[in-house]
Structure 1
Amino acid sequence: MKLLAVIDTSVKKEGLQDLTIHRAVSSIPFAGRYRLIDFPLSNLVNSGVTTVGVFPSYPFASLLDHIGVGKSWDLDRRKNGLFFLPITQRDGGLSTVGAFAGLEEHMQFFTKSIQPHVIVSNGFVINQLDVKDMLDNHIQSGADITEAVIDGVSLKKYILSKDLLVELIQTHREKNVVSVEDVVNLKKSPYTFNQYEYEGYYAIIDSVQSYFQASLALLDEENRKQLFLPDRPIYTKVKDEPPTRYIAGSKVRRALIANGSTIMGEVADSIISRGVYIKKNARLEKCIIMQKCVIEENCNLSYVIADKDVYIGEGVELHGTAEQPIVLRKGETVTKEDLR
């Protein structure tokens, strides 16, 4: 396909700070077994794009561990494939997509490529965008830049010619623009603009609240059917783990539960990731529990997001709300003594 892809994973979202202290926004776990970056990567692969540059800023260890050389997305190729192109500035990353200062650090990625067009995407919008159809629409429009939208809401995905992107990178300081998103929002002259109307499921993850709501929305079967399409699968890093064990006396209702967990208590309207241990008489309702968390006996949790490796001691009660879920940071330990 004659399209080069940029996934800008350097974008910062202050509303997600509790989940991004040790990781990029795009590597936040989602739906029990995925990471946010799985969705834009899968969209590209399903559309026939085989050259993808991922532009992260610090911290990016978790993201690199997840995507590796792109094998799970069939992007581990001798020619083209996946390129991991970190921004060297430790504090790099803006709240805008396609920041020219970051792209500028890896100009060879653009100048050596043969594809005439580029899609600049982000790592925090979930959808099933047909990139090929968007490219066709862009070419037919004759516009300089095409933006993907749905019902007037920007999905922050843009297609433009590679030559124009290189020009913008090289001249952004004198033109006083900081990113592709900035150029589109300003409707910067002399460029022309087009909108591609996307139809389908989407979620913009830019705060703890939007993350919580989008996650629990997948408990609705109709939403899952719209997002997880048989002909456009969502790929992720493969982890071989045994099925989850449901011990006698456990109760599970309307939940998504990944492999490798042990359920002894009650789980309702919740999402449980891999390797989670929920012990006897623990009750969880409307919770998101990430990898390798341990929840001891007699806990009572509602509207809680527990990041990876959280330990919740015996008898702990935590109750948030849909608008303000309680977030337990990665590796945190919570006991009854901590709550006194």
Structure 2
Amino acid sequence: MSFDSDKVVAVILGGGAGSRLYPLTATRSKPAVPIAGKYRLVDIPISNCMNSGIYKMFVLTQFNSASLNKHIKNTYHFSAFSKGFVDILAAEQTPESSEWFQGTADAVRQSLRHLQNQDYEYILVLSGDQLYQIDFKDMIEKHIENHAEISIATIPVNAKDSGGFGIMKTDHDGTITSFIEKPTADLLPDWISDTGAQMQAQGRDYMASMGIYIFNKSIIGRLLLNVHPSAKDFGKEIIPAAIGNYRVRSYQYDGYWTDIGNIHSFFEANLDLTEDIPSINLYDAAMAIYTRPRMLPAAKLNSGCVKSSVIAEGSIILCKSIEQCIVGIRSRIGFGTELKKCYIMGNDYYDTLAQINAQKESGLPPTGIGENCHIENAIVDKNVHIGNNVTIIGGPELPDQDHELYTVKDGIVVIKKGSYISDNFVLK
């Protein structure tokens, strides 16, 4: 059964303060965090919508939203003859509410009035901080075919991971019958589901909510405005209350999906892209990830060795070796430098020769990474100035700490955006 994509509106949640991704979220919202060398996290849900034929999108923003707003404004332009749009809906004070968004459900509730002029039948609710490639067209067709009022994308997980998710059980036809939020280990035996032979062989016996929802228009309005007018969150309040009272269906997804919730998961998701066969295929033309088009030259390399790494356009790389690294746009890396298991986010601009000389005269390193440096297990945020002979080696022996120039979390060193790291600096 086919669906009319013009009858679907996507609402992409910009997230809260993003404290677990600090310091990457110190000056930007979670969906604006750079990923994979050239994209932003928000490009993932927007691109999945476009690849599924959905071109009406609202992005709900609140914290540190300036860079996200700028990125969307500079990236997503549709033809004047198209009905498509990607519009920002910022948290705002109104006569009905003087508060900011209090949670996922509250954010959508406060934004419903902006959808009144849209001709739609279904709302697709998405998170702005997940990494995946999903055909939403298939999910919506299943939603219509099964006469569902709410559909929830679910993914099989193992017992170890189940404690971090809302876990669901379904009956024989995929209707969700029960839900538990972040179950403890002693409760897990009662929540095993038939996830299919392939998933069960991997020990993935539990159906976890992905935080991706489809609501019929009439249902979401009734739930948010009438039945639960003070509920703040979909996963903790709206969905559990809807089960048993509405036709709530599971859409099982067996592909790659990860929630970029903290520094460790963010780091691992990026380094996974350096594998010979990464978990997510950024080279699939049918499921392309779109981002801001930049008129940058091709990357220039004069390196002794590059292994299992992704190099973004506009980079100038003169280093000794790069291994299992993501190197972002406009990166500059000096002679003799060794990088291993790093995400270098790159730069928003190039220094001119005059600026480089002026910084050297002032005793400051230019933008980029200098000569004869050794950096491992690190994230280098944008527009960082790292001098010569710098050693930064992350690892489990490094305690968690927050410094003016860097943060250490789970053994991963994060050099803060715009920091100046002087010559001969050592952290290991």
In 1: Cα distance, 2:256 partner to 2:140 partner:
20
In 1: Cα distance, 2:43 partner to 2:89 partner:
17
In structure 1, the partner of 2:169 is none
In structure 2, the partner of 1:262 is 316
Tell me the TM-score normalised to structure 1 length.
0.90
Instruction: Look up the SS of the partner of 2:278 in the other structure.
Output: helix
Q: Is the 8 A contact 2:58 2:88 kept in 1?
A: yes
Q: Tell me: CA distance 1:77–1:313, structure 2 relative to 1, closer, same or farther (3 Å).
A: farther
Q: Which structure: larger Rg?
A: 2
Which of 274, 281, 293 aligns to 1:219? It is 274
In structure 1, the partner of 2:218 is 163
In structure 1, the partner of 2:394 is 320
Q: Tell me: CA distance 1:257–1:158, structure 2 relative to 1, closer, same or farther (3 Å).
A: same
Which of 90, 100, 104 aligns to 1:86? It is 90
Q: Tell me: CA distance 1:70–1:211, structure 2 relative to 1, closer, same or farther (3 Å).
A: same
Aligned length: 334
Q: Is the 8 A contact 1:308 1:331 kept in 2?
A: yes
Q: Is the 8 A contact 1:307 1:330 kept in 2?
A: yes
In structure 2, the partner of 1:144 is 149
In structure 1, the partner of 2:233 is 179
Instruction: Look up the SS of the partner of 1:106 in the other structure.
Output: helix
2:420 corresponds to 1:333: yes
The 5 A counterparts of 1:250-329 are: 250-265=304-319, 266-292=321-347, 294-321=368-395, 323-329=410-416
Between 125-134 and 10-19, report the one with greater CA deviation. Answer: 10-19
Deviation at 1:153, TM superposition (A): 2.8
In 2: Cα distance, 1:65 partner to 1:131 partner:
26
Q: Is the 8 A contact 1:12 1:93 kept in 2?
A: no
Which of 230, 244, 262 aligns to 1:207? It is 262
Q: Is the 8 A contact 1:200 1:226 kept in 2?
A: no
Deviation at 1:99, TM superposition (A): 2.8
Deviation at 1:66, TM superposition (A): 1.2
In 2: Cα distance, 1:79 partner to 1:135 partner:
19
The 5 A counterparts of 1:51-90 are: 51-68=56-73, 71=76, 74=78, 79-88=83-92
Instruction: Look up the SS of the partner of 2:210 in the other structure.
Output: strand
In structure 2, the partner of 1:99 is 105
In 2: Cα distance, 1:31 partner to 1:125 partner:
13
Q: Tell me: CA distance 1:70–1:99, structure 2 relative to 1, closer, same or farther (3 Å).
A: farther
What amino acid is aligned across from residue 87 of structure 1 in structure 2?
Answer: A
Deviation at 1:224, TM superposition (A): 5.7
What does the per-residue CA deviation read over 1:205-231, in whole Å, with 9 as the maximum and x for residues that have no partner? Answer: 000000000100111132266454221
What amino acid is aligned across from residue 31 of structure 1 in structure 2?
Answer: A
What amino acid is aligned across from residue 85 of structure 2 in structure 1?
Answer: G
Q: Is the 8 A contact 2:129 2:259 kept in 1?
A: yes
Unaligned runs of 5+ in 2: 157-206, 348-366, 397-409
In 1: Cα distance, 2:17 partner to 2:79 partner:
26
What does the per-residue CA deviation read over 1:272-316, in whole Å, with 9 as the maximum and x for residues that have no partner? Answer: 001111001111100000122511111110001011111112111
Q: Tell me: CA distance 1:163–1:187, structure 2 relative to 1, closer, same or farther (3 Å).
A: closer
Which of 292, 308, 311 aligns to 1:237? It is 292
What amino acid is aligned across from residue 124 of structure 2 in structure 1?
Answer: I
In 1: Cα distance, 2:81 partner to 2:265 partner:
36
Instruction: Look up the SS of the partner of 1:286 in the other structure.
Output: strand
Instruction: Look up the SS of the partner of 1:109 in the other structure.
Output: helix
Q: Tell me: CA distance 1:198–1:286, structure 2 relative to 1, closer, same or farther (3 Å).
A: same
Q: Is the 8 A contact 1:310 1:333 kept in 2?
A: yes
Between 55-64 and 228-237, report the one with greater CA deviation. Answer: 228-237
What does the per-residue CA deviation read over 1:131-167, in whole Å, with 9 as the maximum and x for residues that have no partner? Answer: 1111111122333211111112322110011122222
Deviation at 1:186, TM superposition (A): 5.0
Unaligned runs of 5+ in 1: none
Deviation at 1:107, TM superposition (A): 3.0
2:42 corresponds to 1:37: yes
Deviation at 1:111, TM superposition (A): 1.8
In 1: Cα distance, 2:21 partner to 2:227 partner:
28
Q: Tell me: CA distance 1:277–1:227, structure 2 relative to 1, closer, same or farther (3 Å).
A: closer
Q: Is the 8 A contact 1:27 1:35 kept in 2?
A: yes
